[in-house]
Structure formats: structure tokens, C-alpha cells
Chains A and B, each alone.
Chain A
């Protein structure tokens, strides 16, 4: 799939923002007044900024309100609802902390739960795609959630939780890669089933329907060199998890913490780039990707 900057920024930053809101909702850190204001501002900039970035890839952003109508079937529509409700609720909760110095624990708790529900709906947009076997697996929502919780804990200064969560996220990522590399073949879709001609012999794409490129190839048949992907995976693991875990294990200092955050965000962006770039859509089979064609 095409690794569009708008979706990479959207999923990464809104995940971090809602992860931060989760911890703030639980009262960790239990700050009020100006400190709370700073924390909430960062969380909202990330969450709202990410959501705004996602509208850049729309053909008609001015009609975005319509996306609230189909929550019965559409995960994107559900995400629209959960994100807006969460942001409104947490704004009320944050206002209590910032302006009145009071914490309404129940409101925070509901907001925290909704924050994770929002991240879950985002993950389900991808997980539901039967056409992208790499995504259609429990590790996708599990990874989105742990990355959001871990990154959120890191930003909210909850080192105690950030450490194990980042370690879990790193492990899940490895699992997702190992399993994901085989999943297209395991899905049973190949050029033989795509054309239905596999019982007649070995099928090979002879000629594409067009001389130039098209929307399908640009959007869904993105090809990464395996060499680059392998290198990027290592970079993402080191910066996303390894370095932050080491930095957080050192005696606490704001410099280390800041470096840990920067390193994690860099690693996260690389992870998300790979999440899209490495995901193969079955439509590529019609164009002769992964040819191995017999029924």
C-alpha cells in the first residue's frame, strides 16, 4: 500500500495523543493548573493534528461530516465518533484540572477507556481489510494499542509503565513481521485464484491493461526493495524501542527523557512507513506480483 505521509502522520501522532490522554485520564501524572495545561496541550496537538492530517488525503474534505453517518458498518465512521466524543469529554475533564484544580475521576476513567477505543477503531480500519492479508491479524490492533499506551506513557512521564509497554510493543512488532511475511501466501489468494485459470496451467501476467500507471498501482501496489525494508526494520526497532528503553533505564534526567521521546517518535514513523509500504494488496496479483500461479 502507498505509504502516504498523511496517513503515517495521522496514525502515529493521533495514536501518541490518545495514548497520552489515556494516562492523563487515569490521573498519571496527577498534575493540575499550568502543568496540566501543558500536558493537555501536547496531547491535543498530537491527537487533533493527526486527525487533521488524515483529512488531507480525502478527495472532498469539506464533506467530512458525512463520515459520521455509517457507524453501523464502517470502522472509519466509528473512529470519527469515538475520536470526537473522546476529545470533547477529555476537554471537560482537562478544564476541571486546569482551571478549577479538581479531578473528576469517573470522567477521566471514561475518557481513558474511550481514548483506547479510538485507537482500536483506527487499527480496525486496517485489520478489517481481507484484501491486505498482512494487516488482517490480531497483532495489528494489539500493536496499535500497545504502541499508543507505551508512547503515551513515555510522553506523560510514566516511565514505570513506558518501559514494559515498549518492550511488549517491540515483541509484538517482531511477531507481526515474522507472521506477516507469510500471510499473503497463507491467505490462499494467488494469480491462479485471481484469474480462476489455475486449473489450466501455470498463469503468468503477460500484459497489463495499460501502458502507463494508474490509481490502483499508485495506491495499492507499492513495491519496496526487500533490502531497504530489512534495514529500515532494524532502524525502527533500535530507535522505536531499544534506545528509549536504554535511556529510560538510566538515572532519570530530562535530557534522557527528551531524547527517548524523540527517538521513539522517529522509530514510530519508520514503523508506520513500513506498515503501509510492506502491506501487499491482493489486486497486485492481477498485475503479476508474487507470481506462483497454479490452483
Chain B
């Protein structure tokens, strides 16, 4: 049913720490690995080893340069997948009811057997979180690893999304963002977590944590005092040489 639930019991989602992410793309690979052989149709590749490779991914890592008014530019690695929005525009546009938001945990899913592959939901998503698989002709998106998080056949520590389990930097956190006392909610609270494109009115569940301000190291150079020039105005033969050389093309005068 493509009507959105008025509210969901829980709001499962991710908190992504842009301060810690090192841009290794391990989450991208583990996501593709898990999801190509589990929930729904596999994630196909086209011309994977050729000159024009392309494929379906549910999670991708961009990199941005931020140039502050003062100081040096910094690089921020930016993983992006479905944000499991509370007002998910992708769900309401779906003509078939294939796209839906679960009322129990807020996960946004696609019932691939009902999907006609019209692509409208991908148009409606501001974040580019949905990709139509070129081989299967159905819409693919992050399932929040719905087939891991409730899977009692997996050891307890593996019952979280593949990306979270894999991230070597600990930049990804999974939990219930509807519970203000959950670890993820606390993290968002403490670090000033924010929404992507809030003006689109999607109310994303996933939150992003901003890069922490970098402290500026005061300049301490213990050798500097010993290297101070003994004399500022050179005289004699060396002085003449210095002046002459500097006056040549390419000299510093």
C-alpha cells in the first residue's frame, strides 16, 4: 500500500559519521556482496570488466572538498544510501503498491514481484537512493538489511546492516532513531546530527554527523632560534655576490 503509515512503532535507521569515514568504500562492497545474493533480485553489473562499466549499488560514497574562509580545505567522504524517510515521496508516487514503508520499524522496501519498473520512485527521491536494475527491470534500494537484522540464524553481532558490520572506521551506526534514549539518538544529540536536504520535506530517519572542527597546532619550531640570520645586511665580497646574483633574471629582486 503506498499510503504512508501515520507513524511507525520504531524508526530504524543509520547514523553516519562524516568525521570518521575514511572513504574506503568497504561498506559499498559489503552491501553489494550481501544484497546481491539475498533479498530480491541480484544487483547486476553491465560491462563490468570492459571500457564502460556500470552497475546497481544501494550505497555509494561521494567525496567533497570543503573550503573554509580561513585555513586549509578539507576532504569529507560521504556515504549515501536510502534514508528511510518518514515522509517518503518515493512511496506515494508508486502506482502499483510495490513501494511501501513498514509501520513496525519504518523500513522502506520494494516488493519486487509487484514492481513494474516505471522508475517514478527514483525520480521522486531527492537523494538518488533508488536504482532500477538494468538486467532485472525492478527497482533496487537499501533494505536496511532487513534479512540480517531480524535473522536468528546469524550470530548476534552480525544482526546489523552489512555496511555497519563492515565499516573498519566505525563510521556507521544502526539503531532506533525513534527512541530518544537509544545509542544512535544520543549520538545525534551529542554531535549535532543533521538531515540532508531538509527543504525537500522528506524527514529522513538517517542522520549525518558533521566533521569535528580540526584544532590548529600552534607553530613551535625549536630549531628556529638557532637558525636566525646573524647579519641582515651583507657587506664585502659576499654582499656584492648576493646583490649581483639577485639582480640577474630570475633572481629575487
Contacts and interface: CB of A to CB of B under 8 A. Distances in A.
Interface in B106-136: 114-120, 122-128, 131-134, 136
Contacts of A59: 115-119, 132-133, 136-139
- Which of under 10, 10 to 19, 20 to 34, or 35 or more describes the interface residues of B? 35 or more
Contacts of B126: 130-131, 189, 282-283
Interface in B58-86: 60-69, 73-76, 78, 80
A114 B59 CA distance: 43
Nearest to A130: B200
B95 interface: yes
- Interface-central residue, B64, B124, B138, B196, by most chain A CB under 10 Å: B64
B174 interface: no
B211 interface: yes
A70 B2 contact: yes
Contacts, number: 193
Interface in A65-87: 66-70, 72-77, 80
A206 to B, nearest CB: 4
Contact of B66 (A197, A283, A287): A197
A215 B200 contact: no
A270 interface: no
Contacts of B67: 201-202, 204
B197 interface: yes
B113 to A, nearest CB: 8
A77 B64 contact: no
Given A58-B118, A195-B196, A286-B80, A130 B201 contact: yes
Chain B interface mostly: loop
B119 A57 contact: yes
Interface string B181-207: 000000000000011111111000000
Contact of B3 (A72, A195, A287): A72
B53 to A, nearest CB: 4
Interface string B92-112: 111111100000000000000
Interface residues of A, number: 59
Contacts of A128: 93, 124
A264 interface: no
Given A189-B199, A282-B126, A213 B64 contact: no
A204 B54 CA distance: 24
- Interface-central residue, B73, B119, B194, by most chain A CB under 10 Å: B119
A121 to B, nearest CB: 11
B89 interface: yes
Contact of A74 (B2, B63, B198): B2
Nearest to A72: B3
Contact of A80 (B80, B95, B120, B136): B95
A195 B78 contact: yes
B57 to A, nearest CB: 7
Minimum-distance CB pairs A-B, first 5? A59-B117, A59-B137, A209-B60, A201-B68, A283-B128
Interface of B: 1-3, 18, 25, 28, 52-57, 60-69, 73-76, 78, 80, 89, 91-98, 114-120, 122-128, 131-134, 136-139, 194-201, 208, 210-211
Given A63-B116, A76-B118, A204-B65, 20 more contacts: A1-B123, A57-B119, A59-B132, A66-B98, A66-B116, A70-B2, A73-B3, A125-B120, A130-B126, A130-B201, A191-B64, A193-B199, A196-B195, A196-B208, A200-B211, A201-B68, A201-B73, A205-B62, A209-B57, A209-B61
